Each structure stands twice: as structure tokens, then as C-alpha cells.
Amino acid sequence: MNSQVSAGESPRAVDLIRKKRDGGELTRAEIEALVRGAASGEIHDYQMSAWLMAAVLRGLSRAETAALTDAMLASGAKLDLREFAAPKVDKHSTGGVGDKTSLVVAPVAAAGGLVVPMISGRGLGHTGGTLDKLEAIPGFQTRLSLPRFREVLAACGCSMIGATAEIAPADKQLYALRDVTATVESPFLICASIMSKKAAEGIDALVLDVKAGSGAFMKTEEDAAFLAELLVETGARMGIKTTALMTDMDQPLGRRVGNSLEVEEALEVLHGEGPEDLRELCRELTAWMFQLGGRTRDLEEAKQLYEDLIGSGAALEKFRNMIALQGGNPAVVDRPGLLPQAKSAAEVASPQSGVVSAVHCEAVGTACSLLGGGRQRKEDSVDPAVGILLHKKLGDHVAAGESLCTIFYNDESRVTQAGEMLRQSFSIQNQDPAPRSLVRRVIPAR
Ligand code: URA
């Protein structure tokens, strides 16, 4: 039976948890009280975690999702960036393994004349986070004051920071809880988390990379499409021109997983090199940013602009500039060896010959987290140096005993478990996997 929470009173946390647990629909006022209570500390982490779990299991209605997104946005400031004449456009991913595209698309888009005020997240569940990657760069500050954020934007057109006490504080808090309480996998919570942050940026347009597959939070095409539609609809409601690309996450993107390793691979792409799948996705996402920002007539022109900005070195120069402005060591751009390096490495050998027919991508992300690349508790710090270098991807032939991947680690006690997890995450058979496209579907702005 649903408990009744009367209007006018400040509802008790336990009643809001019970109401959601029993499948009830919270009112806008109740959701606002929940977010306010979490921010003020009146509602404790353990109570909020219980409510989040109830929300994952019971789901949220459209009205609850809208109320949660709005309340999370209202927990902090909303930027007014009208002083910048250029279109303000951002890109955000729903979370993947080896997904370092933000490190590439932000500087390319800025080099192409857009303003990119990017508020990113840390690792979430088995997926990596842009902030943890950026913090692998020695000295790089992701905690900027809002005046400094504006200064960096004015100086180089892009800045990448995390949610703070000033901007999107509710997401900062809920995100950290969801990471360690198995409460990420809800399209409604993902929508509120992403869209509250993005609306706080004061952007005109947004490109969303909605991942589908074994390494995504939405494992099936159907679930990913539901999330993509919800995000595009929410963007329209909030006055942000939002397009979603549903993209493949049935294997890690690129070949490197882990914070330093992923910065290194993003740098390869900015240098005009790097793995083809990563290059293709960076090109697609940035092209959509140029299109939504009105910089180009069509997608072909937008893709050409992307190639030109990589080829001329302009995008790399933007990244170097942004690193320096945010306190990091810009020399890493040409000398990635300056990034933190793990002390030891171990190979994961294939138990048999054949073709890689499937990769359990979530297990690859979890193995990286176990090595220290992610958090087990919210106060944990991450080890930027650890990670995985994949030698084999879907469709590759492998001989028995050949290395499937290399593990980079610092803590000996974790390597056996991570190695076993990685070995089991590769399916080796005698037939080629079905051909797949990286961009599965585009859900256009409404
Ligand atoms: N990215 C976010 O910012 N939030 C989520 O919940 C998932 C991905």
C-alpha cells in the first residue's frame, strides 16, 4: 500500500522511499523536497541510496523524471553564456568502456568555432569518466570556479570541468552514490543526471552518444532507443536542440581502457592517428556538433571540417592550450610518456585458436575498475596508471597462447582476478562475428 504524504508538510525521507518502493508516483513537490534534503544533508546518503534503488526497480514516470531533472538543475546555478557570440554546443555520452571521445571532440569543435562548456562526470559503475581521464594529466584541474571556467572558455573556446557546489551539485552527489550502489542502470536517473548538468551549461545544442551493447548501461537496442528518445524529448522540453546517436558498445572503443592509457589514445587521434573505430566516432560526433551549431551546410562538409582541423594541428593546439589554462602540463601532448605509468604489465593469453566472436565489454570495464581504475567506495581515489591494452578485437584471428590483451597494474593482489575476468570476457570461436556498424541509429532533434 502506498503511504500518503500530505501537501504542505516537509515529507519524511522514509515515506518518500516507501512510496517509491511500493510503486507510487511522487509529486513534483516531493521530488523537490528529496533533492533539497539530499543537498542540505537532511536526507542521508543511506536514505538517498535506498530511494535510488527503489527508483531503479520501480522506474519513474515522465512527470517524475521531468521534476527530478528540473530539481537537480535548480540545485545549482544555470550559466548564462550570452556574452559568447558563437553557438554553445556540447556532447555527452551515456557511458561506455574505452570511450575517450570527449577529449577529442571538445578541442576539435572549439577549433571549428563552437564554444564547448563541458561539465563531465567521473567513472560510473564499470564505465570510465572524462574527469578521471583528464586528472591523469599532471596538474590538470577539473574543479574550476565559475569565473575561471568562463575565462578558460573565453581564452580557448572549450573548458572541461566537473559538477561543483555551484553548478549541478545534486548530480555531483547522486552520481557518486549511484557509482557504488548499483543504481546507475535506470534510463530515468541517467536522463535526469545528464540533462540537469547539460541544461546548467546554458548550451544551445547537444549531441548525445547513447551506447548500446554489452559494455553499456542499456544492453539492448530497445532499451537504448528508449533512453535516446527520453533524452531527446527532455532536451526539447528544456529548450536545447538535442540529437542522439545510438552507437555500438559491444566491445571497448579503441584499444585502450584506463585513464592514462585513454588520454594517450585520444592524443593519437588528435595527432591524426589512432584506432579506426575511435576516429570514426569522434568524426561523427563532432560533425553533428558542427551541424547543430549551424557551422556547416551538411554532414559531409562537417566531417571534412573535422578532418581539416585534425590535419592542420589546430585541434591539437586547442587541447594543449586548454590543458595549460587548467593548470596541467601541456608537454604531455607531445610526450605522453609524462602521463602516469604502471609499474608492471602482464599478458592475458588466449586459451585456444579461432576468431574473437564476442567481447563481454562490461567485464573489461569491471576488470579495469578492480585494478584500481575505478572506485569501490565513493571516497576512493583512482589509480590513473592502470588499465588494459587490447591486442584483439571482434573479428580478429588469434592463435592459442597469443596475447589477447596486456594488463598494466600496480597492485599485485588484484591482477589474478582481473586477468581471469579478462580471459573469460573474450569468446573465441571458428566463425566470424556478424558485421556491425558503429553508429546504429540517429534520433534527430525535435
Ligand atoms: N552520464 C551521466 O552524466 N550520468 C549518468 O547517469 C550516466 C552517464
Cα of 399 vs centre of ligand 1, distance in Å, is: 38
The predicted pLDDT at position 436 comes to 87
Supply the pLDDT for residue 1.
Answer: 37
With the most atoms of ligand 1 within 8 angstroms of its CB, the residue from 190, 197, 230, 234 to mutate is: 190
Protein residue closest via CA to atom 8 of ligand 1:
94
Which residue blocks in 157-220 are alpha helix, DSSP H?
A: 169-180, 187-200
Residue 257, exposed/middle/buried by CB under 10 A (0-12, 13-18, 19+)? buried
Ligand 1 pocket, residues with Cβ under 6 angstroms: 94-95, 121, 124, 184, 189-190, 193-194, 197
The question of whether 178 is a catalytic residue gets the answer: yes
State pLDDT tens for residues 379-404. Answer: 999 999 999 999 999 999 999 999 99
Where does the pLDDT of residue 3 fall: very low under 50, low under 70, confident under 90, or very high at 90 and above? very low
Nine-digit cell string for 419: 586477468
Which tens digits make up the pLDDT trace of 234-260? 999 999 999 999 999 999 999 999 999
Ligand 1 centre and the CA of 391: distance in Å?
A: 29
**What DSSP state is assigned to residue 211?**
E
Pocket test for ligand 1, best of 175, 180, 217, 231 (most atoms within 8 A of CB): 175
pLDDT-derived band at 8 (thresholds 50, 70, 90) equals low
> Which atom of ligand 1 has the smallest separation from the CA of 197?
3
- The per-residue pLDDT for range 279-307, each reduced to its tens digit, is 999 999 999 999 999 999 999 999 999 99
Grid coordinates belonging to 291? 551541424
- Asked which of 50-54, 227-231, 435-439 is least confident by mean pLDDT, the reply is 435-439
In b/e form, how buried is each residue of 218-243, taking b as 16+ CB within 10 angstroms?
A: bbeeebbbebbebbbbbbebbebbbb
User: Which amino acid appears at position 285 of this protein?
Assistant: L
**Active-site residue among 171, 209, 277, 383?**
171
Average pLDDT over residues 8-15: 85
Instruction: Mark whether 383 is an active-site residue.
Output: no
Decide if pLDDT at 5 tops 70: no
pLDDT at 65 over 70: yes
> Which CATH superfamily, name and number, covers 13-59?
Transferase, Pyrimidine Nucleoside Phosphorylase; Chain C (1.20.970.10)
Active-site residue among 58, 178, 241, 318?
178
pLDDT greater at residue 67 or residue 431: 67
Share of the chain above pLDDT 70, in %: 98
| Bridge pairing between strands 116-120 and 403-409 | unpaired
Report residue 417 as a C-alpha cell: 582476478
| Catalytic residue, candidates 75, 120, 193, 214 | 193
* Sequence spans of domains, the chain: 13-59, 89-336, 341-429
Over residues 141-162, the pLDDT tens digits come to 999 999 999 999 999 999 999 9
Check if 171 is active-site.
Answer: yes
**Options 3.90.1150.10, 3.40.50.300, 3.90.1170.30, 2.40.30.10; CATH of 341-429:** 3.90.1170.30
From CA 282, how far away is CA 101, in angstroms rounded?
A: 6
Condensed to tens digits (0 to 9), the pLDDT of residues 69-103 reads: 999 999 999 999 999 999 999 999 999 999 999 99
- CA 121 vs CA 18, 128, 220, 340, 378: distances in Å: 29, 9, 23, 21, 13
User: Residues near 305 by Cβ (< 8 Å), separated by ≥ 6?
Assistant: 112, 287, 290, 295, 296
Q: CATH class for domain 89-336?
A: alpha beta
Q: Is 437 labeled as catalytic in the residue annotation?
A: no
Q: Which atom of ligand 1 is nearest to the CA of 95?
A: 8
Active site residue 241: no
pLDDT tens digit sequence for 351-374: 999 999 999 999 999 999 999 999
